[in-house]
Amino acid sequence: MDRKQCYVKLSVQPTRGLMDEKFIILVQNAFPGSEVTVHALHKCEDGHSWEAFAHYNADTAGTVNVSQDCSLGGTYSGVEPMGLLWSLKPVPGSKPGLRMRKKNIEIPMEVLISVYRGHLTKGFLDQAPLAGVLVERWYMAPGVRRIPITDDGLTATLFLPSGPGPFPGLLDLWGGGGQLVEYRAALLASNGIAALALDYLTCSYTMETRKLVDNQYFEKAYKVLQQHPQIIGSRIGMMGLSLGTSMTLKMAVYSQVMKLSCVVCISGSHVQPVDGSLEDMLKLFTLNSHKTRTNEENQMIWRDLLLPIPTDPSLKVDLGRIQCPLLVVVGEDDQNWPAGDSAADMKEMMEQAGNSHLLTLLSYPDAGHLIEPPYTPHARASVFRAVQTREKVTSLWGGQTLAHARAQEDAWRKTLVFLKENLYGSTNSSATTFTNL
């Protein structure tokens, strides 16, 4: 047996791929029927290490195919081809409240896939693996161009797909944590859509003046896309997550400058002072801060801050006036925003106005707030620093790991279809891959 297992072979295909691309993990030459553990290890740029592992029994040929075989235990169970990524967790002994986020998208996420003898649950670094393969996972495909944007006081990064173009464009907004978050925009560009990642909370203007941006800031970002020679100015969409949905919906409905082809809103709400600014939106949170709850682990639950959904039309965006296709993504266990309640009200508003044909609603049971690109590890709760108070707390985002992983994969696939249908006019636009590299 030992002699046989000395020649265990491990292969991962592809070893270089995009973050939203599946891989195939194959163990060969193990002893027939033997117990093995397949292990994934990733060290983040912040120095923290994450791992996932699964238990398998080799078949009569000494083979384990992770894409087809059932995990008997570990950080996931069942047939889960990408379980070694979405079930990644901080290694034992890590500080609490970690969340994995890619900072430098010009370098890959490196994951060491290894196979061990037996069904292990700990001590992986203390044992020699039978075999190992280093895998690269990229947000930026070959040929994608990253272009920092500082014109007109903007803090943004434009990602252009490979090739001459012209390409449709997308304005990409994240949530209340601020910062310039680039990885989703880079992955969109890798799928053929020029994307502008925009920092609107901690941008250079705000850092220098201590003032929040006004609505014109978003219109300036739109014009950067509209006027770029490699972007189709008449085919521009907007995507927001969490707080980013508030500005996305407001600009889509009320801006006289932004003529959007489509809108994607993930885990957000239309509730806000319609005639107000970003500053007024944040003041509303402060005004309602007494509605904050905590659970037994002292994790902050903020979903009630915008509840009940108001009946006053001045306190919510009038979705009856939206004139472009709208995709709304909801995690039904969202503990951070009342996304489900908001989506129901938005749907009712559109039905009453006769434009509900523009709405596509994706609602996922047991998914939480942070619905990200697929195969991203689920964070049910993590440390969060609010921009307005700078107080560091632990926020409860919600979600159950398996259901959340399913939601991320399904929502990303359907989001790409939605964007390509409404920005390209078809689902056949090409995405760059690492095939044959």
Pinpoint the alpha helices (H) of 179-257: 183-190, 204-209, 215-227, 243-254
Could you give the residue numbers annotated as active site? 242, 334, 369
As a whole number of angstroms, the distance between CA 209 and CA 153 comes to 11
Position 137 scores a pLDDT of 98
User: Residues 90, 379: contact at Cβ < 8 Å?
Assistant: no
Q: For 93-119, b where at least 16 C-beta lie within 10 A, e where not — what string? A: eeeebbbbbbeebeebbebebbbbbeb
Q: How far is CA 323 from CA 99, 119, 135, 356, 426, in A?
A: 37, 56, 44, 10, 20
Question: What pLDDT does residue 431 have?
Answer: 45
State how far the Cα of 94 lies from the Cα of 112, in Å rounded to an integer: 19
Pairing relation of β-strands 64-65 and 24-28? antiparallel
- In the prediction, which pLDDT does 391 show? 78
Distance CA 296, CA 98 (A): 19
pLDDT tens, per residue, the chain with 437 residues: 444 445 899 999 999 999 999 999 999 999 999 999 999 999 999 999 999 999 999 999 999 999 999 999 999 999 999 999 999 999 999 999 999 999 999 999 999 999 999 999 999 989 999 999 999 999 999 999 999 999 888 999 999 999 998 999 999 999 988 899 999 999 999 999 999 999 999 999 999 999 999 999 999 999 999 999 999 999 999 999 999 999 999 999 999 999 999 999 999 999 999 999 999 999 999 999 999 999 999 999 999 999 999 999 999 999 999 999 999 999 999 999 999 999 999 999 999 999 999 999 999 999 999 999 999 999 999 999 866 566 789 999 999 999 999 999 999 999 999 999 999 985 444 444 443 33
Question: Residue 430 has what pLDDT?
Answer: 46
- Answer yes or no: are the C-beta atoms of 326 and 318 closer than 8 Å: no
Half-sphere exposure of residue 99: CA atoms within 13 angstroms, side-chain side = 17
The SS3 call for residue 348 is helix
Tell me what pLDDT residue 9 has: 97
Please tell me the predicted confidence (pLDDT) of residue 1. Answer: 42
pTM, whole model, 2 decimals? Answer: 0.94
By CB atoms closer than 10 A (0-12, 13-18, 19+), residue 179 is middle
What tokens does 32 get?
A: 């027939």
Contact 198, 236 (CB under 8 A): no
What confidence score (pLDDT) does residue 151 get? 86
437 CB neighbour count, 10 Å cutoff: 10
According to DSSP, residue 107 is labeled S
Distance CA(294)–CA(391), nearest Å, equals 15
